[in-house]
Structure formats: C-alpha cells, structure tokens
C-alpha cells in the first residue's frame, strides 16, 4: 500500500510539473514574429518582468501588458488592437495555446472584431474547428424562431458582423460579444432584437473544446 501511494504521488507530481513547465511566459517569448510583428525578444522579456501592467516602446509606438496570469496574458499592441494568449489543458499533462487577436474600428474605436486561433505549445497551427464551432451572427440568434417570417430578414441585417472575444484570466471561459449596435440604425436594431438570445455568450472549456 505504501509503495502504491508513493507511485500515485510520483505520477501526480510528474503531471503537475509537466503542466507548470508549459508556463505562459515561455509560450509568449517563443511566439513567432508573424503573430506579433515588430516585438523583439528584449521587448517580450521586459513585458514579463512582473505581473503588473508594463509598457515598452517598440517600432510602432508602444506596447502594453494589460493582464498577466499563471496561464494567460493580454497585450495591447496599439490604441485599437490587442492580443490574448491562454493555455488550455487537453490532457493531464499537455496544453494548447488559444490566441485571440482583436481589432477595434468605427468612429469611437469601439466596434471590435476578433480572430480566434489555436496552436500547439510549439506554435504549430491546429484546426480551429476541433476546439470551437463556427461563430457567426446566427450564433446569437434564437434558432427556435427560424420559421418566423422575419427571422431571415433580421439575420440579414448585420451583414458585417463584428464579434469580439475575451478570454478569462482566472478560468478557461471564452466570452463572445456581438457588436452589432454600433453600425446599425435604430430601426434595424429594433428588427433584430426580438430574435436574439443575447448579445453575449459565455463558453466553457470542456473535454478539450469550447461548448
């Protein structure tokens, strides 16, 4: 029994160490230049000095670390753009990297649209459909009303559908926000509202995918 308990303890410690070895700092520092252009290795190191907000100058102006957790980091890359990285567990001893790149436009810079992608911890791109269903304006609509006369019309109104995403520093949730109000008229918004479930949806990371 003692030997069995020691083996169990060793296995648990091994898996814990493996997960801790995949820390967000190392992942961020190894991020390919094409995913975070213009940011040098020295810049990355300076941003990781502590977990507080940190700013460093770089070729496009200034870059700021907004949030930094055990498995999460958010970087403000410009006055209208940011990049988030999150380690997501796929087994007891391995994790993948979720990258959310967001750009905000519009007159007030508050119409935000995000691109979500997934990578191995060696930065090999993975098939996003494995981890997240396809997201569109219809994701936020009430499918039980599909047969309604005005459903298709309402769905066609947000022909350009900015959807932003926010990863959570403290857990693995993913918040999707449908930013339709900023570029539609009051009449169009009135036509859409009855068919919306919500303008935001929180997804949970379960069984190695978002649900």
**Exposure b/e, 9-27, CB count within 10 A at least 16 = b:** eeeeeeeeeebeebebeeb
pLDDT tens string, the chain, 211 residues long: the values are 444 343 333 333 333 334 444 699 999 999 999 999 888 888 899 899 877 788 888 777 789 999 999 999 999 998 899 999 999 999 988 999 999 999 998 766 678 999 999 999 999 999 999 999 999 999 999 999 999 989 988 988 877 789 999 999 999 999 999 999 887 889 999 999 999 999 999 999 999 999 9
Q: Enumerate residues 6+ apart whose C-beta is below 8 A from 91.
A: 208
């Amino acid at each position: 029994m003692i030997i069995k308990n020691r083996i169990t303890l060793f296995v648990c410690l091994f898996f814990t160490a493996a997960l801790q070895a995949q820390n967000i700092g190392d992942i961020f520092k190894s991020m390919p230049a094409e995913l975070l252009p213009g940011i040098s290795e020295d810049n990355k190191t300076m941003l990781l000095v502590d977990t507080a907000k940190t700013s460093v100058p770089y070729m496009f102006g200034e870059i700021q670390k907004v949030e930094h957790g055990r498995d999460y980091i958010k970087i403000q890359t410009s006055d209208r753009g940011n990049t988030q990285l999150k380690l997501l567990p796929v087994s007891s001893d391995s994790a993948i990297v979720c990258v959310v790149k967001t750009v905000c436009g519009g007159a007030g810079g508050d119409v935000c649209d995000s691109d979500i992608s997934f990578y191995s911890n060696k930065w090999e791109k993975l098939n996003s459909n494995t981890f997240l269903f396809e997201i569109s304006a219809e994701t936020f609509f009430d499918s039980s009303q599909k047969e309604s006369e005005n459903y298709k019309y309402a769905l066609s109104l947000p022909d350009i559908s900015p959807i932003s995403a926010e990863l959570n520093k403290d857990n693995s949730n993913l918040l999707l926000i449908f930013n339709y109000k900023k570029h539609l008229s009051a009449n169009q918004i009135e036509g859409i509202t009855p068919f919306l479930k919500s303008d935001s949806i929180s997804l949970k990371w379960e069984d190695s995918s978002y649900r």
